[in-house]
Chain A
Amino acid sequence: MNYTFRTLRFDPLKDESPYFQDFLYETEETKTTLEALMDIRNEQDCTLAFRYSCREAICGSCGMVINGRFELACRTMIDSLKSSVVVIEPLPNLEIQKDLVVDMEPFFETVRKIRPYIFPEGEVLEKGCRIEEKEMERIFQYINCILCGCCYSACPVASRDERYLGPAALAKLYRFVRDPRDMRHFSEWSKVNTEGGVWGCDTVFKCNEVCPKDVRPADGIEALRRKLVLEKIKRLFRFKR
């Protein structure tokens, strides 16, 4: 098969604006988009920049937009695209550092903001703690998150409002709040009871659609909303009594 890889190029130190460059690519084998990009880099233009690591959709390095779809390049077979033209763009709403490499720092900053670590009770127990698996089941969906940033990049709210924490960070917060081992106080996690937090989401569910790991971050945001409201009512009730 013959393909044209229409790849976005941009070096902010040199170019005035991003542009597309076409690479012709021929292969008889079933290849992933990442393999094709590596072949193109090796054989046609060694300066083409993109990130990669595991090639098995678990490290989260190679999120990009392939023919308009948010995807991990490593798990996207080029024949599955059913098109001889393959348009490759970097993740939007993040600054391009070079070609397909974007600055992920704003994304990781949102993750850091929610204090993404367990607030444990006491010290390590000599025999560990006991938790039934069903108590953990609610968080399994969220621990599949690989922090690739696709959801953050695709989120219309995050793109227009930089205060917004975005889907991945909020879903991660829910992962901790629901963890039976996590002792963070209501006053700590209810900091997301704002427009920059859970109420910022305008429920278009773009994050659920683009997530390559089926995390469905919006489920977490909605669950956080419910939990917030419920906690408030509980607190009010307790106060009155």
Chain B
Amino acid sequence: MLSQDILVVGGGLAGLAAALACDPQLKVAVISKVHPLRSHSVAAQGGINAALGNNPEGRDDTWEGHAFDTIKGSDYLADQDVAELMCEKAIPAIYELEYFGVPFSRFPGGVIAQRPFGGAGIPRTCYAADRTGLVILHTLYEQSLRRQVKFYNEWLVTKLVVKDGKCLGVVVFDLQKGEIMPVKARAVIFATGGYGRVYLRTTNAYINHGSGIGIAYRAGVPLKDMEFVQFHPTSLYPSNILITEGARGEGGYLVNNKGRRFMEDYASSAMELAPRDIVARAIQTEIDRRNGFENQYVHLDLRHLGEKKIKKRLPGIREISINFSGLDPIDTPLPIQPAQHYSMGGIDVDIHCASRMEGFYAAGECACVSTHGANRLGGNSLLETVVFGKIAGEEAAHWVKGSSGSKDEEKHLLDAALEVKKKIEERQKREAGEKVHRLLNRLKLIMSEQVGLFRNNKDLGQALEKIAELREDYQRVSISGKCLRFSQELVNIIEFESMLDLAGVITLGALNRTETRGSHYRLDFKERNDKDWLKHTLVALKDGKPQISYKEVHITKYEPKARQY
């Protein structure tokens, strides 16, 4: 049986950062369902935040200022010690990335360039044109090659194997071989990313099913703050490909069908650079009031930035606009609409990225260390991956050195793999049954229509019932064909079970939280309610049912106040 000291699941930024931080004396491997360079981190565009103070308009920036913006942006649901840690570590993290070879854009004088981003009082987003994710992912991958990190690509983790509250390893589906098998590990770090594809409109890659989060939940680890789902204000219509916040950071305008910069009505001071939750709702409100175009989108106008700036600072989104909409932002405003983008919630972990399960860690979008609270600021997700990925790697390595193996591990792992195998064989035996992609489409519709930007009690209640119906139908899903090699159908079937769990937890959390905070907007409870709801939602699976509980928010020195932008 394949056995590792530390198993990192996911080859995106958080996974690679974790693998690089593990003690090289330990046996470390990264498992990824795609080649690491195909991970969704590659699509990040606008940048990564750190209070370097390089922008002439932000010379006196401090990490404390960054922490304050992060906490305010989170609508005060972030754990303040966590946000402080991330923002303080941001500065050395950027210089380490630079040292690793990231080709950041530069200001005259040779320092790393920084642009304004939403919800930040000071321009502090470091970038490499608008391909920041691409260059950081490739750089960390290069570093993993240098360090000879072991990769197992095109392996999908289907299950966490647990005994007496201790993580023993995982069960994987090897796509190339079409086989199910167990992998033993003394510690497992999940860096499996988000679940954008639970929604109809999302900026996320096709592969973002979020199954890692669901697997942790199935294994008994609570999920935290899952009702907080970020909708990015500017996705290109109709493909919903991301158009970076950097486009507004560089000076782009949002314009309705009356030719008006409507953000004046929603955030008169920050305008287009208000936090994402506010801008996304503003855009949708304009569309709903028939101030949009074709009842689908508003315009993102970059024409006044001029050809030179667009080509230099935003070449990637220009390429995307031309390829996918046939429009050149130099000459034409871009049609944009909000789309699901990011999950603030995730696997409940502490400031050390450790979960409640011994030997199980999580980092990146799949995790909820609680640095984004109810709304994440642009430029903080790349930062989170490198800072907390590293912490997860260091902490897991530390834990492994002090831990001992348990008895009968291998038998447990083999049994778990056999169980997964049996389930698949049962589905293969069925002559006819439900097709998983149809169920997935139904789920996306429910989530988009009833658990989207604007929520209310009735819709959320109905959504929960419909998700339960889908769960019934899922039992009848069949697999066509005997050969499982490169079976995307099987991948989808395995991951869909997790998606059902996630959808349920998101909806349940949203139904219970009778207030509006950050991205969670309740039409029937439009105010933030700190008295009753300044707390994290935890949902754990107990006896096959979701059980909800709450946990207090860590406050250090930033008293919760109303957000004004």
Contacts and interface: CB of A to CB of B under 8 A. Distances in A.
Contact of A179 (B99, B103, B437): B103
Contacts of B98: 128-129
Interface stretch (B107-115, B269-277, B332-340, B352-360): B107-115
A106 interface: no
A209 interface: no
Interface stretch (B138-146, B416-424, B545-553): B138-146
Interface in B85-134: 92, 94-96, 98-101, 103, 105-113, 128-129, 131, 134
A130 B109 contact: yes
Nearest to B109: A130
A57 B320 contact: yes
A73 to B, nearest CB: 12
Nearest to A29: B238
Contacts of B106: 131-133, 136
A54 B486 contact: no
Contact of B145 (A41, A117, A140): A117
B489 interface: yes
Contacts of B468: none
Contact of B105 (A116, A125, A133): A133
A126 interface: yes
Nearest to A55: B206
Nearest to A34: B206
Interface residues of B, number: 60
A124 B110 contact: no
Contacts of A58: 42-43, 131, 134, 316
B49 to A, nearest CB: 15
A97 B95 CA distance: 41
B150 interface: no
A49 B483 CA distance: 11
A75 B43 contact: no
B207 interface: yes
A46 interface: yes
Count class of interface residues, chain A: 35 or more
A104 interface: yes
Interface stretch (B30-38, B165-173, B380-388, B511-519): B30-38
B103 A101 contact: no
B205 A104 contact: no
Interface of B: 34-35, 37-40, 42-43, 52, 92, 94-96, 98-101, 103, 105-113, 128-129, 131, 134-135, 138, 142-143, 145-146, 176, 205-207, 239, 241-242, 316, 319-320, 323-324, 435, 437, 479-481, 483, 485-489
Given A42-B437, A49-B487, 19 more contacts: A11-B483, A14-B483, A42-B435, A47-B480, A47-B483, A49-B485, A53-B34, A53-B40, A54-B206, A56-B324, A58-B43, A101-B486, A112-B145, A116-B145, A117-B146, A133-B106, A140-B103, A143-B131, A179-B103
